[in-house]
Amino acid sequence: SAVISQKPSRDICQRGTSLTIQCQVDSQVTMMFWYRQQPGQSLTLIATANQGSEATYESGFVIDKFPISRPNLTFSTLTVSNMSPEDSSIYLCSVGGLAGGNNEQFFGPGTRLTVL
Amino acid sequence: KNEVEQSPQNLTAQEGEFITINCSYSVGISALHWLQQHPGGGIVSLFMLSSGKKKHGRLIATINIQEKHSSLHITASHPRDSAVYICAAPMGGATNKLIFGTGTLLAVQP
């Protein structure tokens, strides 16, 4: 299994500002993903974070709004830019492709974001 | 129509009851995930299964690939089992990208 930590665990931000969320894994992983869970909704994949190259975004999500970095195999960041109240969500990172593992996916504890 | 559907959406049980949550999916999959989300938001992976049945403590997950249906059972339920239970299926191919069901909110009362 993998132990995943996210920072911050929660934040309250003002409209128009940006927040960067960090995701750290305790082992090297092939895949890292960022999800959003809006209030009362299920999880939606934002993008796949690719090590050493640009992230792959899902339909409806763009790099200017959600820039992602992945400098190595254990760390990634997601920035929520120019925030509005509609960005209030839980943001989760997940990892897959552990060495010697199967297709199991592990999730971080989430970052609860409230935009005023 | 969501490709992964769960029922029921909400479930209230008395402590000790046997609980079943169902998941149906319309996509061809290699494996199905069951996840647990507590009120704080963090998600824990409970099971990943591609056939048959898996058991972990009081939790049992079954899957019927032909019928595209999976169930999560909780035996001797306890208030600490109260959470949202989510099934998820890979989007296809060999990727780990998941499509999530809408979740089942379980409340176990003492």
User: Which tens digits make up the pLDDT trace of B21-39?
Assistant: 999 988 777 788 999 998 8
Instruction: Tell me, yes or no, if B31 comes closer than 8 A to chain A by beta carbon.
Output: yes
Please tell me the distance from the alpha carbon of residue B57 to that of residue B33, in angstroms, as a whole number. 17
Mean pLDDT of the B75-102 span: 86
Minimum mean pLDDT range among A37-51, B19-33, B89-103: B89-103
Q: Which residue matches tokens 């890292």?
A: A32
Q: Does the distance separating the beta carbons of A108 and B41 come in below 8 Å?
A: no
- Chain B residues 56-85 within an 8 A CB cutoff of chain A: none
A-B CB pairs within 8 A amount to 56
Give yes or no for a contact between B87 and B73, defined as CB atoms under 8 angstroms apart: no
Least Cα distance to B44 among A27, A106, A43 occurs for A106
Neighbours of A70 (CB within 10 A): 20
**What was the pLDDT predicted at A12?**
97
> Residue B31: its chain A contacts at CB < 8 A?
102-103
Lowest model confidence (mean pLDDT) among A63-67, B93-97, B99-103: B93-97
Arithmetic mean of pLDDT over chain A: 91
Residues A76-116 have pLDDT tens digits of: 999 999 999 999 999 999 998 766 666 678 888 899 999 99
- Residue B91, pLDDT score: 74
Q: For residue B5, which of B91, B103, B105 has the smallest C-alpha distance?
A: B103
